[in-house]
Amino acid sequence: MKRRDLNRLALVWALSAWAQVTPAVASGRRFAGPVWQGQPFALGVASGQPRSDSVVLWTRLVFAEADRAWQAQPQAVVCEVFADEALRQPVRRWQVETDAQRGHSVHVLAQGLQPGRSYWYRFVCGSASSTVGRTRTSPAPEARVQQLRIGQASCQHFEQGHYAAHREMAQRDLDFVLFLGDYIYESSNPKYRIRTHLGGVPQTLDEYRQRHAQYKGDADLQACHAAHPWVMTWDDHEVVNDYANDRGRDEGDAAAFLRRRAAAYRAYFEHMPLRLGPDAQVPHQMRIHDRMAWGQLAELWTLDCRQYRDHQACPDPNRGGARVVVGCDALQDARRSMLGAAQESWLMQGLADSPRRWKILGQATQMSSSGVATPLGRSSFNDAWDGYPLARERLLSGLADMRLQNALVLGGDVHMNVAANLRVRPNDEQSPVVASEIVTTSVSSRGMGESLLASIRDNNPDIRHARSDERGYTLLDVRPEGVSVVFRATPHPVQADSVLRDQARFEVVAGRAGVQAA
Ligand SMILES: [Fe+2]
């Protein structure tokens, strides 16, 4: 036996010490499930929320016409984890049951894994096997790791373009994909349609399930889920455009909207590799904000900017919700919050406690100001952080007071690439830069026009780069000495065969807040 084989064998033994094989597997009995006519794993596989010893593995069964008879019965699904790509070194397997009540979704919390390494996994149900996914655990909490590679993405309107960004990310060597919201869109705009949603605007659980299943049917999106673990938060379109807390757009009252929100949250959970689903007692509540370490190199907070926020200030009296406001006194109410009091203090406490070099905030929208001067005063888009200016000031002065050197805010939502400096008082040169911001453009959703963007650039010197004409994703290479940022992009709309290129490169140097062109 060669040394390499011995090493491999030692690894298998080390891993198998963790294994608790379920009785059905230990007895060697193959589970007798359905003989499928179609592919029940047609929505693919996914993994997410990595830790140093665990990761969530996901799939969902779907039923072809010829397999409908199986749909009403509970189904047993085996999940197998391997230490190698060739699937010769089994690590563990789990058998779980799923049923129609949970939309036939499968969530396995794969525990007992080793830190900082890749694993391969697949699901089996009766005669069918899923594709093989690759995932990765985070490094040990104390490990002095030298690198973290993130693919940052958001906003993938299915109708407005193809997923070239996911196709490329699937081929990249990434530690995880960070998806910052607008995974599905509830709405349509026939003007910008190059492919078509099934069904109308979703309201019910079944309608949200159908929308998610359609998105998950995309081959490039599936490839990207199968290639890397995903770390996720949501924005508004997972429920409805511009919702805030218990207020939607069309629902007459909060109770009706919260029923819709509960359906949307549940369908979201059923389609994502997440540890926690909706609260069993209060189904319109679901905790998605989270915190994860990458050795001693970085700590990442993923934030929820929708569920707990105050309603938008100065809404349109007829339409409600988001708009550009001028002379809105309510913006200056210090009690207003984007994150809600509990999440905000959890975040600030965590930032103060973290010993890790880079403090990364993954949140849904743009934090730098994008207002423009008008004859009646400066405008504010009341749905983004500009609509919560004192909450933003609280957060950024908190960073300044803690003297955090290496705070990096990541965002999405606005369908443009942005590199910006963050100050306690936006655009005021007397106010020191306390953090750096990178907003990623949309994967496919259409961006704003160039004339508005030009005026945003002119009015906001803190914004060092802003382009809304291209789609894509952002590569972040985090190292102890700095973070390099590459905006990968392709013109709108993204065609099935579009190819991405570098739009711009930026750098954030450790110990020096602010973005610099690279
Ligand atoms: Fe979006």
At residue 30, does pLDDT exceed 80? no
Identity of residue 429: E
Tens of pLDDT along 152-203? 999 999 999 999 999 999 999 999 999 999 999 999 999 999 999 999 999 9
Mean pLDDT confidence for 442-452? 96
Nearest residue to 378 via CA among 286, 306, 320, 460? 460
pLDDT at 6 over 60: no
Q: What does the pLDDT read at residue 251?
A: 72
Average pLDDT value for residue range 491-510: 98
What is the maximum span of the chain, computed from C-alpha positions, in angstroms?
81
Q: Compute the distance from residue 188 Cα to the ligand 1 centre, in Å.
A: 12
Nearest to 503 by CA among 484, 483, 488: 488
- Asked if residue 10 has pLDDT above 60, the reply is no
> What separation in angstroms does the CA of 241 have from each of 55, 95, 335?
31, 38, 24
Q: Cβ distance 446 to 213 under 8 Å? A: no
Q: For position 316, what pLDDT does the model report?
A: 86
Among the listed ranges 55-59, 131-135, 251-255, which one has the minimum average pLDDT value?
A: 251-255
Cα-to-centroid distance, 1 and ligand 1 (Å): 55
Q: What are 125's two structure tokens? A: 């149900």
Mean pLDDT score across all residues of the chain = 94
Task: State in Å: Cα 493 to ligand 1 middle.
Answer: 15
Helix (H/G/I), strand (E/B), else coil: 262: helix
Residues 278 and 56: their CA atoms lie apart, in Å, by: 16
Instruction: Please give the Cα distance from 504 to 490 (Å, whole number).
Output: 12
- Taking the centre of ligand 1 as the mean of its atom positions, its distance from the CA of residue 495, in whole angstroms, is 18
Band of pLDDT at residue 389, cut at 50, 70 and 90: very high
Overall pTM surpassing 0.75 (yes/no): yes
- Tell how far the Cα of 304 is from the centroid of ligand 1, in angstroms: 15
Please, which pLDDT band fits residue 16 given cuts at 50, 70 and 90?
very low
Confidence of residue 345 (pLDDT cuts 50, 70, 90): very high
**Spacing, Cα 333 to ligand 1 middle (Å):** 27
Query: Residue 502: what pLDDT?
Result: 98
Sign for the pseudo-dihedral over CA of 356, 358, 363, 367: positive
- Is the confidence at residue 28, as pLDDT, over 80? no
Distance of alpha carbon 229 from alpha carbon 328, whole angstroms: 42
- The DSSP bridge pattern shows strands 75-82 and 118-125 to be antiparallel
- The pLDDT score that the predictor gives to residue 515 is 98
Length of the chain measured in residues: 518
Instruction: Tell me what percent of the residues of the chain surpass a pLDDT of 90.
Output: 91
Q: By the 8 A CB rule, do 482 and 472 touch?
A: no
Distance 117 CA to ligand 1 centre (A): 33
464-485: buried (b, 16+ CB within 10 Å) or exposed (e) per residue? bbbbbbbbbbbbbebbeebbeb
Residue 456: pLDDT above 90?
Answer: yes
Helix (H) or strand (E) holding 390: helix 389-401
What span, in angstroms and rounded, lies between the C-alpha atoms of 55 and 84?
16
Confidence at residue 252, expressed as pLDDT on a 0 to 100 scale? 75
C-alpha of residue 360 to centroid of ligand 1, in Å: 21
- Cα of 159 vs centre of ligand 1, distance in Å, is 12
Distance 470 CA to ligand 1 centre (A): 14
Residue 345 CB partners (closer than 8 Å, separation 6+): none
Mean pLDDT in residue range 266-293: 98
Q: Rounded mean pLDDT of 286-291?
A: 98
Measured on CA atoms in the order 161, 164, 167, 169, is the torsion positive or negative?
negative
Mean local confidence (pLDDT), 106-110: 98
For residue 363, the CA-to-ligand 1 centroid distance in Å is: 13
Q: Where are the alpha helices (DSSP H) in 233-369?
A: 254-270, 341-353
DSSP 440: P
215 or 320, higher pLDDT: 215
Q: What's the 313 CA to ligand 1 centre distance in angstroms?
A: 20
Asked if residue 21 has pLDDT above 90, the reply is no
- Band (31; pLDDT cuts 50, 70, 90): low
If you ran DSSP here, which 8-state letter would residue 28 be given? T
Q: Where are the beta strands (DSSP E) in 254-392?
A: 290-294, 298-302, 324-326, 358-362, 373-374, 377-381
The residue-averaged pLDDT of 221-237 equals: 98
Q: How far apart are CA 273 and CA 235, in angstroms?
A: 17
Closest C-alpha among 308, 324, 341, 485 to residue 409: 485
Which residues are bridge partners to 391 per DSSP? none
